[in-house]
Amino acid sequence: MDRHLWISFLRLVDQGSDAELQARKEQLLISLKELSIGRGSVRSDVMRVVRLIDDELLARRHLAQRRKGRR
């Protein structure tokens, strides 16, 4: 992925809601299946983005649980 796509993705991670991130992840996975991308740099870039989205969603859930615990 080029620099501008990464910047756009990082902006989505920073400003997007959980629902937006989940929707984008699902769109990416559907696109991989529809396009029959089995190997190569495109698939690895897409899977890296999916993993980063998963990491972000998990971190947000963890922070939410910690905030509830402090109250």
Write the pLDDT tens digit of every residue in 35-48.
Answer: 876 667 888 888 99
Residue 53 CB burial class (10 angstroms; 0-12, 13-18, ≥19): buried
Whether 34 is covered by a domain: the verdict is: yes
Per-chain mean pLDDT for the chain: 89
pLDDT of residue 43: 85
Q: Taking residues 52-70, what's their average pLDDT?
A: 92
Whether 7 is covered by a domain: the verdict is: no
38 is in which domain, residue-wise? 20-70
Whether 12 is covered by a domain: the verdict is: no
pLDDT of residue 23: 96
pLDDT of residue 7: 92
Write the pLDDT tens digit of every residue in 5-16.
Answer: 889 999 999 999
Domain count of the chain?
Answer: 1
